[in-house]
Amino acid sequence: MLELSWTFIAYGVFFGTLAGMLPGIGMTVVMILASPLLITHQSIEIIQFYLSAILISQFTGSIVAIYFAVPGEPSSIPAVIEGNKLARQGKGTQAIYLSAIGSAVGGIIAFILIWFLGKNLGILFKNFGTLFNVVMITLVVILLFLVPAKTWIERYVFPLVGMILGILGESTQDVNVSFSLGIDLLETGVPTMPLLLGLYTLPLLLVLIQNRTDTAKSFVQSISIKDVVFNMSHVVLSVFHAVLGFIIAFIPGIGLNIVSNLSYEIQIRMNKYVEQKNKGQYGLLAAETANNSGAISVILPLVLFGLPTTASQAVLYNILIEKYFLFGPESFNNLLLNSILQVLLVTTFAGLLLAGPCASILGKLFEKFEKKLYIFVAILMIVVIGYVGIQTYNLELYTWVIIVSFVVGWMCRNMDVLRIIYFFIISSFLVENFTRILYMWELM
């Protein structure tokens, strides 16, 4: 049965193109921007939106990476290294198509794997409750702490600040209890969107607007498909990296960033046995294929266990929680599975078109409007969040949160403030499950 929401997939394609092509925007910003649009719709439509946006962002991210040496999102760094090198050698079309076809193969392999594993995963995970959540979230926290941080503030203080902010408001266990640090305004908790806007997005956009005075050199060229080569070695490699990416991305806390770069690193080591002329192409193919298949498996821990493993998923999680979405086997049913599979097919095809034949058009648009787009996005976010503040009668709280978090975000603009946000969003999940296990074990 076809359960596709074409409107939401179209939104996903549009927002995913923004996320992929505008450096710094990424899926987290896209999810915040789209939140007011999503919140009134069905959970399944929201998931379809997220899936199509994240898949498209993986396709389009390589366009700016190859043509302008700008990583649209961190998972496009290998595309910058290898893709732009090929573009400089006059092989831009080959790089663009290699990346687009590789990404499409990643999507198809993910489709096949989900199709085979999907229903069994649902049955398997029926047995995983609070204890499993505790183990998973502990693993995620450990992994997050293992991710290198530049300073001790980023490593220890940011997670702590995020946790404290996250547990403010209504208790995760008891409707009659709330934590507010004695500030009345905080009795209902810190709103996510203004915090993200002030702490992360606005400082980032301002830095990007400031720094984009020196336009990167463009290698946009007309696409001529007859020059493109995609042979058997490309097929074998893309299948291998698609499977690898799918498996790695399933580990909670990994994220596409690591998936893409890890696949690339593995390919670099394998390249010792490869002809010099193919090395760059294989590296590019490895990264692009892995991040597209990983874009699907990375969402499985969220849908199956209610465990967000990236900042953008945490925003998605917040929206789905408000929709009373039952994470786990009850929701991971045939309807959702079919929906994921259909979105995967449709979006892979759309992505192939965008990142293949349409790549030069998108590249030229990016060249022309990049800086204006940043300003437009910044204004749009302010307007959207101001509107939500008014609609929810939280304008005072929203204003304070934006001001305070913007000051902190601007001061820490060279640091990884996403660590605060990630811990902020997972803290309620973490506290809820740890507290519940204490009750279950009669320790509370």
Partner 1 sequence: MKIKKIIFTLLTSFIITTGSHAGKIDLTIINAGAPGGTYSKLNDALIKDLGKFYNINVIGADSESKGHKVFQSIEDRPVYVNSRTAFFSGVNVTKKEKPLINDSKKHYIVFAGKFNRAVCVQKNKDVDTLLFGKEQSLKIASSDGVIFGKKFVAKLDAQTNSKHIMVPYNGSGKLIKGLITGDVDIIVVNQGSAIKQWKDGNINCKYTTNPSSGQGLQPLYKKMQDPWAGFKLTYTLYGEVKNVSSSFAKDLNTRISQILSDPNSNTTKKISQLGWSSLIADIEGLRKDWKESYQDTVDILK
CA–CA separation, 315 and 308 (whole Å): 9
Q: Is position 411 an interface residue for partner 1 (rule: CB under 8 A)?
A: no
| Rounded least distance, CB 176 to partner 1, Å | 4
Q: Pick between residue 8 and residue 246 the one whose CB is nearest to partner 1.
A: 8
230 three-class SS: coil
Q: Is position 74 an interface residue for partner 1 (rule: CB under 8 A)?
A: no
CA–CA separation, 179 and 282 (whole Å): 53
Residue from 49, 325, 332, 366 touching partner 1 (CB under 8 A): that is: 325
Q: Is position 327 an interface residue for partner 1 (rule: CB under 8 A)?
A: yes
| Rounded least distance, CB 269 to partner 1, Å | 41
Q: Is position 368 an interface residue for partner 1 (rule: CB under 8 A)?
A: no
Residue from 14, 171, 338, 367 touching partner 1 (CB under 8 A): that is: 171
CA–CA separation, 260 and 38 (whole Å): 28
Q: Is position 176 an interface residue for partner 1 (rule: CB under 8 A)?
A: yes
| Rounded least distance, CB 303 to partner 1, Å | 13
Answer whether 177's CB lies under 8 Å from 171's CB. Answer: yes
| Rounded least distance, CB 28 to partner 1, Å | 19
Residue from 138, 371, 407, 411 touching partner 1 (CB under 8 A): that is: 371
What does the DSSP assignment read for 244-290? Answer: HHHHHHHSTT-HHHHHHHHHHHHHHHHGGGS-HHHHHHHHHHHHHHH
Residue from 392, 407, 411, 414 touching partner 1 (CB under 8 A): that is: 392
Candidates 4-12, 135-143, 175-183, 337-345; binding stretch for partner 1 (CB under 8 A): 175-183
Hey, which residues between 123 and 142 contact partner 1 (CB under 8 A)? 126-131
What does the DSSP assignment read for 306-369? Answer: ----SHHHHHHHHHHHHTT---STTTSSHHHHHHHHHHHHHHHHHHHHHHTTTHHHHHHHHHHH
Residue from 3, 187, 265, 367 touching partner 1 (CB under 8 A): that is: 187
Comparing C-alpha atoms, which of 416, 428, 429, 427 is closest to residue 199? 416
| Rounded least distance, CB 334 to partner 1, Å | 13
CA–CA separation, 344 and 4 (whole Å): 11
Candidates 15-23, 94-102, 167-175, 346-354; binding stretch for partner 1 (CB under 8 A): 167-175
Q: Pick between residue 35 and residue 293 the one whose CB is nearest to partner 1.
A: 35
Q: Pick between residue 7 and residue 392 the one whose CB is nearest to partner 1.
A: 392
Residue 424: burial class (beta carbons within 10 Å; 0-12, 13-18, 19+): buried
Residue 198: burial class (beta carbons within 10 Å; 0-12, 13-18, 19+): buried
Answer whether 305's CB lies under 8 Å from 121's CB. Answer: no
Query: Which residues sit at the interface with partner 1, rule CB under 8 A?
Result: 39-40, 43, 126-131, 170-178, 187-188, 202, 206, 209-210, 322-330, 371, 375, 378-379, 382-383, 386-387, 389-395, 432, 436, 439-440, 442
